[in-house]
Amino acid sequence: MRIEQEEKYIIDAISSNESQLITTLLDWSAINSGSRNAQGLDDMRSALATAFKILPGEMSEPALSKGEFVSAKGRVESVEYAPALQIQVRPDAPVQLVLTGHYDTVFPKDSQFQTPEYLDEQTVNGPGVADMKGGILVMLTALSAFEKTTSKSQIGYNVLLSPDEEIGSPGSAKLLAELGRKSHIGLTYEPALADGSMAGARKGSGNFAVIIKGKAAHAGREHHLGRNAIAAMAEFTMALDQLNGQREGVTFNMAKIDGGGASNIVPELAVGRFNVRMLKTEDMQWIRNRFSEILDQINAKDGISAELTGDFTRPPKPMAPANAMIFDWVKRAGGLLGQDIRWSPSGGVCEGNNLWASGCPNVDTLGVRGGDIHSDREFVKLPSLVERAQLSTLILMKIASGEFDAQKAKTLALAKPQSC
């Protein structure tokens, strides 16, 4: 395999855009688009819509499914999410791809981390610079370059930019599944590590909330009449934590507990929110069984009731043969560009999990090189804007030429079993 003359011309031209790419990334980073910041999400989506107008096809802003959220008062409330941004290009082409990214970040509207700044000539620290506004910029640059090729008619694609990935994709999950089912392969632009290493197999994830109700009473006069919901929550939390280590790769993390009030009142309500990670799809039933056992113990207490809400949001994504095939493409394309592509398993989850669950093989760390994501130390290595755009452009061109067989990858993904 080699880089053909047209491919080299297209790839080399990307380098001339580096300064503009950096300027755009700094502008995007300065827009606070935390997952719960409605105005910020609208502003970011507007900026993206303007940028993605350079692509052909149809742009839309699909409404997402409503979600549910357990309030600190123990009430299950309806939640609406900002629209996604979707661009559909050549839906009748023989090969169909789905390219995904998210425009929300983990930094709320009132975060102290708002402004990007240079750490050195090649490194910028800023909200979303790596996760994943930099990745979206890589995606756009690659697609724009690909649209200049003579083989573009061989590939159609859907771009989906979602506003809710950082909270588990509760609203966009249905749309991700729909696009994954009708696409041969998926390309997702989460950040790689600073050295360029990518995520291979990924764990699955679930987000849950447990609502425990007791009975309020005066802590001095009638303590014996009260039923302490926080004490019951402590028992639930300890039982949950003791599950860690009982099954390989399965972890439980109680992340937040609400409840209680004045110290002279026996608390009647506690709400606990926790996350679960697992290696294999079959782990999910084992987890459900353990939940049932713990809930039975809590509900057996006099005057105490416990209710579990939530679900598994992203099934595991193994390094199955179809996914391994795509990673081999990435490695081969990287080799032609002088990029050493490596990968390792990750406990993190992303939209790649959703795509795989729908039968769509994919690679999900095609974004920039960076690190310290989800913290105020988040950074991007600026040369990777061009490097990664060139990598994706070459992958697209090799798929269009048939050197990378997308239809074969899809067939392999749909074969049983889908794990390794």
Question: Superfamily for 5-202+316-414?
Answer: Zn peptidases (3.40.630.10)
Tokens of 377: 């130390």
**Three-class SS of residue 133?**
helix
Tokens of 15: 């380098």
Angle at alpha carbon of residue 278, lines to 275 and 284, rounded to 5°: 90
The CATH classification of domain 204-314, taken from the options 3.40.50.300, 3.30.70.360, 3.80.10.10, 2.60.40.60:
3.30.70.360
**Which amino acid is located at 60 in the chain?**
S
Q: Pinpoint the residues of the chain covered by CATH 3.30.70.360.
A: 204-314
* Helix (H) or strand (E) segment spanning residue 117: strand 117-120
Cα–Cα nearest to 364, from 73, 39, 101:
101
Q: How many residues does the chain have?
A: 420
Q: Are 314 and 371 in contact (CB under 8 A)?
A: no
Report CA dihedral (278, 284, 287, 289) to the nearest 10 degrees. -170
Cα–Cα nearest to 103, from 170, 161, 142:
161
**pTM greater than 0.85:** yes
Cα–Cα nearest to 307, from 170, 229, 211, 241:
211
Cα–Cα nearest to 132, from 317, 348, 314:
348
Q: Pinpoint the residues of the chain covered by CATH 3.40.630.10.
A: 5-202+316-414
pLDDT tens digits in sequence order for the chain, 420 residues long: 899 999 999 999 999 999 999 999 999 999 999 999 999 999 999 999 999 999 999 999 999 988 888 888 888 888 999 999 999 999 999 999 999 999 999 999 999 999 999 999 999 999 999 999 999 999 999 999 999 999 999 999 999 999 999 999 999 999 999 999 999 999 999 999 988 889 989 999 999 999 999 999 999 999 999 999 999 999 999 999 999 999 999 999 999 999 999 999 999 999 999 999 999 999 999 999 999 999 999 999 999 999 999 999 999 999 999 999 999 999 999 999 999 999 988 888 899 999 999 999 999 999 999 999 999 999 999 999 999 999 999 999 999 999 999 999 999 999 855 443
* DSSP state for residue 152 in the 8-state scheme: G
